[in-house]
Structure 1
Amino acid sequence: MGYTFTIDDVAFLRSRHGAKALETASMLDLSPSSMLADLGELRRRYPERDAAVVETVLCRRRGRAKLRDADDMLFGDDALQQSTASPVAAHRAAEIAARHPGAVVHDVTCSIGAEVIELSRAAGIRGVIGSDLDRVRLAMARHNLDVTGGRATFVAADALTPVSTADVVLADPARRSGTGRVFRLDQLTPPLLDVLTTYAGRPLAVKSAPGLDYRMLRDRFGFAGQVQMTSLDGSVREACLWTERDGEPGRRATVLRSQPDGTVRSFEVTDHDADDVAVGEVGDWLVDPDGAVVRAGLVRNYARRHGLWQLDPQIAYLTGDTVPDGERGFRVLEATGVTEKELRRRLASHDCGALEILVRGLDVDPDRLRKRLKPKGSRSLALVLTRIGRKGVGFVCAPGVRF
């Protein structure tokens, strides 16, 4: 658990004196070895607010990889963990603006305002409302909108008590409690099914954990909307449930990739794409589809689009003679069995040293296997382990290359 902020803490941090305190603390190391000395100095200069200052600076440092404006924002550790990464929030905001031009959008669980910031930046969105029961986070959200130049109306309100007639509603039920992460739909805050019921009949987007069992949601609870899995730079970030999407794909994978110039490249695969692909022998390359594609159950659709085929109809690894643009491929050097004796022999014959191990369909721990294989050569390689039918197979490959 991180530091628990108070309203007075936020008021101090937003003041001129607080801004100076944050500037002073940001120049300190604040590492485990220096923390006691650094805290002593801050406590002498800013008594009663030193913990809030330190927590803010440390959270800002951690938040740089996730929030584009982290260095100017206020948030605690829990809020940072649940906040939406800026590129993901910006992509959603742009989609809402394109589908609902001139809309007013209400984020009913706005927390520190990460989504609200991107909604306020999206051309075509007429107005933004943010509401939350946590008044401390609301105060942080007001600050965060101010420093990023955004405009929004904030209201203290329960997400399950509608307080606006906004054109589109956005919700992000909390997936953490006092005892850690929660996984059941009824343990979210507010419960997912209650959110869906409260805003039934209105365009609604609900952010959920990527491990959401959307099949159960459809089969047991009758959810008839769209499920969107989104990844950013190879990490699956969320599932988003969209209502009011009649006639559109039921499943969608959105893959976002940060570019060197600061832009974000994206592509999508949906269950409206064709999925008839062959199953055959390994080609020149192995491709491990992005996690969003796998989580959305769209591996075959992705394979068909790029001219790839499957090694086994139940396994997500794909193979082909080329690698899709922007994707990571492993050039196959040879096939092998999966006994440790054979793997050790085959890897030694390739002078293997550094080794990346990828596994699907087999009960193998890559880290433990790497330690037991003890490769001692000079060449970097990749080892892909999977099964075809009931048989375990391995492929010794060159290191992965992104095209």
Structure 2
Amino acid sequence: MERADLVSLLTPDGMALLDELAEQGSAGDIVATVTRLRKAGHDPDVVAAALTQSRLRVRGRGKFGEFADRMLFTQAGLEQATRIRAAAMHAGRYLANDLTKVADLGCGIGGDAMAMAAMQISVTAVDADEVTAAIATHNLAPFESAHVLHGSAEDADLSDVSAVFFDPARRTSGHTETTRLSNPDDYSPALDTVFDVARRYPTGIKLGPGFDRDLIPADMEAQWVSVDGSVVELMLWSGALARDGITRAALVLSDDGSPEMTASEDSPDEPVRELGAFLYEPDGAVIRARLIGDLARAVGAGPISDGIAYLTGDSESATPFATCFRIIEQLPLDEKVLRRWVKGNDIGTLEIKKRGVDIDPAAFRKRLNPRGSRSATLILTRVGGRHAALVTERLTDQA
């Protein structure tokens, strides 16, 4: 969204159009909708801006639920925005430590600041991009304890805050069609600035889950967070926000709760085991936090091969930190053999998972040509150092 688009949208006509589109819903012919609105005398630029926002609000429900229906977005801002449940967990940590005056530096569209303000935390949200700051102002308008400033994180006045939150921009500049930055030196604000502030104030830093572990300061708590089975972020916590004795954590958020594994350091791995009756696929947050060894000991399992993040054991053990599969059969990882197996077992719905093999599951599934009435899960991996295909029955998702 460009500045002119936002200006045209933040008018009585633009906001009325947004309300009308919300009442209409996402159904209907977009061309017919545009034609109707233009015939009604609406400015074409306002129509275009309102339709874009309407589409972004629909997408935003996946992160913000019903709150998305009154928010404004940019495409780039929505892509980086924190899911509302994770944002609530962030805000809860500040509140639990009685840190109630927070500067959110690089606030984006204001997702984390919304969660803080909803908990009566006084939050000053700062963003260097004018359009993004204006959108954050709109999104935070219902909260008296929040205010937004257009400015740089480097120049922010921290004299009246007790803690800081950072979500450095990790995409190229702009509001649409941005790309992810691979070099942390290109983040905005720069990591040097972020870490310098974190040494002086209790600070939460939201980063991508694949952030280089070698760059994590030794005195910070690193917490990987997954939501509904997908790892969505790495949170670094400093000062009073970092828990004593914890430098590694894996938090698993789902409809069933928010269990967490914690440790003082990366956990030592268990030795490789022979294939047992069950296979465990650890949650991605556990893998990123390098707590697979602790999980293995908790469920009585061990790795199926060196360097492979699948565990195997002889008994089923319920855990919220892994999906469990019953191993039915081990086959060679040979396409002809597997195609015959699929046909001979009347397989029509075929889930394919893989680790440690160079295979595209979607393309491989197509070549196996499943057309039957039964379902199965194939796990393509290495067992004891050798490629294999495991026929399995999914027993649990993350519980």
Same fold, TM exceeding 0.5? Answer: yes
Of 326, 348, 352, the residue aligned with 2:347 is 352
Aligned pair in 2 of structure 1 residues 251, 9: CA closer, same or farther (>3 Å)? farther
Q: Following the alignment from structure 2 to structure 1, what is the Cα–Cα distance between the partners of residues 269 and 105?
A: 41
Q: What does residue 310 of structure 1 align with? A: 303
Q: Following the alignment from structure 2 to structure 1, what is the Cα–Cα distance between the partners of residues 149 and 2?
A: 24
Q: What does residue 379 of structure 2 align with? A: 384
Question: Do structure 1's residue 21 and structure 2's residue 25 form an aligned pair?
Answer: no
Equivalent residue letter for 1:297: R
Matched residue of 1:64: which SS?
helix
Of 367, 372, 376, the residue aligned with 2:367 is 372
1:264-317 alpha-carbon deviations (Å, 9 max, x no partner) = x11112233865635322333222111111122221122223333221242111
Q: What does residue 183 of structure 2 align with? A: 184
Equivalent residue letter for 2:336: K
Report the alpha carbon displacement of residue 91 of structure 1 after superposing the two structures with TM: 1.0
Aligned pair in 2 of structure 1 residues 253, 93: CA closer, same or farther (>3 Å)? same
Q: What does residue 292 of structure 1 align with? A: 285
- Structure 1 unmatched runs, 5+: 260-264
Matched residue of 2:154: which SS?
coil
Q: What does residue 92 of structure 2 align with? A: 94
Contact kept, 8 Å, 2:202 with 2:237, in 1: the verdict is yes
1:154-180 alpha-carbon deviations (Å, 9 max, x no partner) = 222211123123111111111111452
Q: Following the alignment from structure 2 to structure 1, what is the Cα–Cα distance between the partners of residues 8 and 196?
A: 36
Report the alpha carbon displacement of residue 142 of structure 1 after superposing the two structures with TM: 2.5
1:167-218 alpha-carbon deviations (Å, 9 max, x no partner) = 1111111111145221101111222223212443211111111111112x14
**Paired residues, number:** 385
Aligned pair in 2 of structure 1 residues 40, 223: CA closer, same or farther (>3 Å)? farther
Q: What does residue 262 of structure 1 align with? A: none
Q: Following the alignment from structure 2 to structure 1, what is the Cα–Cα distance between the partners of residues 149 and 123?
A: 11
The 5-angstrom pairing of residues 205-354 of structure 1 reads: 205-215=204-214, 217-218=215-216, 224-244=219-239, 245=242, 247-259=244-256, 265-272=257-264, 275=268, 277-320=270-313, 321-326=315-320, 327-354=322-349
Matched residue of 1:316: which SS?
coil
- Superposition TM-score, scaled by structure 1 size: 0.87
- Structure 2 unmatched runs, 5+: none
Equivalent residue letter for 1:60: R
1:31-54 alpha-carbon deviations (Å, 9 max, x no partner) = 7x8223212333344314222211
Matched residue of 1:51: which SS?
helix
1:219-272 alpha-carbon deviations (Å, 9 max, x no partner) = xxx55422211110011111122222385322211111125xxxxx11112233
Aligned pair in 2 of structure 1 residues 39, 382: CA closer, same or farther (>3 Å)? same
Matched residue of 1:206: which SS?
strand
Question: Do structure 1's residue 66 and structure 2's residue 63 form an aligned pair?
Answer: yes
The RMSD of aligned alpha carbons is: 2.5
Of 137, 143, 152, the residue aligned with 2:146 is 152
**Percent of counterpart pairs with the same letter?**
34
Equivalent residue letter for 2:8: D
Aligned pair in 2 of structure 1 residues 199, 296: CA closer, same or farther (>3 Å)? closer
Q: Following the alignment from structure 1 to structure 2, what is the Cα–Cα distance between the partners of residues 369 and 325?
A: 30
Equivalent residue letter for 2:296: A
Matched residue of 2:254: which SS?
strand
Contact kept, 8 Å, 2:283 with 2:323, in 1: the verdict is no
Equivalent residue letter for 1:322: E
Aligned pair in 2 of structure 1 residues 5, 57: CA closer, same or farther (>3 Å)? farther
Equivalent residue letter for 2:195: L
1:118-165 alpha-carbon deviations (Å, 9 max, x no partner) = 011236x4x221111223322322222234x46312222211123123
